[in-house]
Chains A and B, each alone.
Chain A
Amino acid sequence: MPKHNTPMLDELEKGPWPSFVSDMKRQAEKKPEVWDILGQLERSYEDKITHWKHGGIVGVFGYGGGIVGRYSDLPKQFPGVEHFHTVRVNQPSAKYYSTKNLRQLCDLWEKHGSGMTNMHGSTGDIILLGTRTEHLEPFFWDLTHDMGQDLGGSGSNLRTPADCLGKSRCEWSCYDTQAACYAMTMKYQDEIHRPAFPYKFKFKFSGCANDCVAAIARSDIAVIGTWRDDIRIDQAAVQKYIAGEYPSNGGAHKGRDWGAFDIKKEVLDLCPTGCMWMEGKELKIDNAECTRCMHCINVMPRALRPGLQQGASICVGAKAPILDGAQFATLIVPFMEISEENDFESLTEFIEKVWDWWMEVGKNRERVGETMQRVGLPTFLKVMEIEPIPQHVKEPRSNPYIFWQEEEVPGGWERDVVEFRKRHAA
């Protein structure tokens, strides 16, 4: 395939940020079809419209998802991208790799595909960009047989779960996010590979409320680590922060002079519940009033640590705007123990209860967050067999349209107007 003129894309080779155009040109020397990707992209820059056709249904036998089919609407001009399917490959938890594994995958993709990738898709998958239909089964055979790896999810199913790097290299992680992510991925392989849901469904696992995998915004079930005892304080280390020996926030703000560290201004006064104070040289925290927002720990990581009774909060229902508007996940279980020893039993029970209900009542293409909105939080809690608690709401309702169950009201709903008229003539 010949080179195409790409004056607009060439502009994107200037500047300090790694240029995807330069990278693609380098790849095109090995895989000439990449010239056609550049060519078609340049055309889209000119025409200000995409040149991919609508949809595409391809896949491998046995699975209902994992591959996103795509065809060019200019196959004559750009035969290299006539078929340009995307393969989602399930990534390892928190995306740790060996070069051996990546080299093997690259060799495989250069053999069967364009050699172009996206490391990684927003959901977490390794994305292999661009191949033809006839390569899909051979690629899948090699991926599973030679590399022991599998496809990720797509369609109305459980999508590929993802997690923050957790205990592997973070002192704040309140449970093993990688173990949980891996265990849930393996346990629910059927749900990942064969769409059986009303719509897509995502899990994400964050070790603490900093939420480095954005679980609260980008997953239908967000598992966010927390603790329920006291923050551990090293008073000597607090003094070192005050004395300026340790940089605040691990030195995150050293690019600018913010003055000397002021614990009152930067920690005590910023605490959202105001539950911290200094008693002489001692830092005090009223842990009963702490909402575990992570701020003080983030500022003084060498002095403050999460407590020892660790677990996670479970939030449900985040989604992007379509159809009913964007939603963050809402708190359903304030604290759940997340333990590998019992195979994450409480978590799997919770997940399956949500699924049993949503698969039955969820409408076609209705995210679980929308189903919850439709039936209401009280109904959702009831099917989940969870007692409503104040922590379930940010504030109580302000409107008085309150439903009561008939059995809650003395006398029930069956009333006789004749009886009423005996006391109140019309």
Chain B
Amino acid sequence: MATIEHKGKSYEVDEDGFLTRGMEQWDENWVEFVKSVEGIGDLTDEHKKVIDALQEYYKKNGIAPMVRILSKTTGFPLKRIYELFPSGPGKGACKMAGLPKPTGCV
């Protein structure tokens, strides 16, 4: 377990930089921090839309949505999601949204 300090706030993260306590610790300051490490340029409404969609789905269903569902709910094709989040919906967007680390045969 490591701790990340950003603008006076500290976050508990795992080796891959995912929030260990998930959305409980999540805030705008965390978004700003992830932006700086995940190769994301200016934060736009489109980023916000993806994050909102992920959080909403997670709160309702207790899992991250499948890529296809994320594309459907946001209206962004996968290509656009990678333009917004260069490391992709899992490592990029889920990390930024404070969702738990993707698991399985990745």
Contact = CB atoms under 8 A, between A and B. Distances in A.
B106 A57 contact: yes
Contact of B106 (A83, A154, A364): A154
Nearest to B69: A364
B66 A64 contact: no
Nearest to A157: B67
Interface residues of A, number: 31
Given A54-B103, A200-B105, A59 B66 contact: no
Interface in B12-64: 15-16, 18, 39, 63
Given A57-B91, A196-B67, A62 B78 contact: no
Secondary structure type dominating chain B contacts: loop
A26 interface: no
Contacts of A61: 39, 86-87
Interface stretch (A65-73, A245-253, A277-285): A65-73
B106 A65 contact: yes
A71 B1 CA distance: 12
Contacts of B82: 62, 64, 194
B73 to A, nearest CB: 15
Contacts of A68: 106
B104 A64 contact: no
Q: Contact residue range for chain B?
A: 20 to 34
Contacts of B68: 196, 198, 359-360
B102 interface: yes
B91 A58 contact: yes
A57 B67 contact: no
A60 B87 CA distance: 6
A59 B88 contact: yes
A196 B78 contact: yes
Given A56-B15, A62-B86, A196-B78, A364 B66 contact: yes
Q: Which 10 A-B pairs have the closest CB atoms?
A: A64-B88, A61-B86, A57-B16, A61-B39, A155-B106, A71-B15, A196-B78, A57-B91, A196-B67, A55-B103
26 contacts: A53-B15, A55-B102, A55-B103, A57-B16, A57-B90, A57-B91, A57-B102, A59-B91, A63-B87, A64-B82, A64-B87, A64-B91, A65-B106, A69-B15, A83-B15, A154-B105, A155-B106, A190-B79, A194-B79, A194-B82, A196-B67, A196-B78, A200-B105, A359-B68, A360-B68, A364-B66
Given A194-B79, A195-B88, 19 more contacts: A55-B102, A57-B95, A57-B101, A58-B16, A58-B91, A59-B87, A60-B87, A64-B89, A64-B90, A64-B91, A69-B15, A154-B105, A154-B106, A155-B105, A155-B106, A194-B88, A195-B90, A200-B105, A360-B68
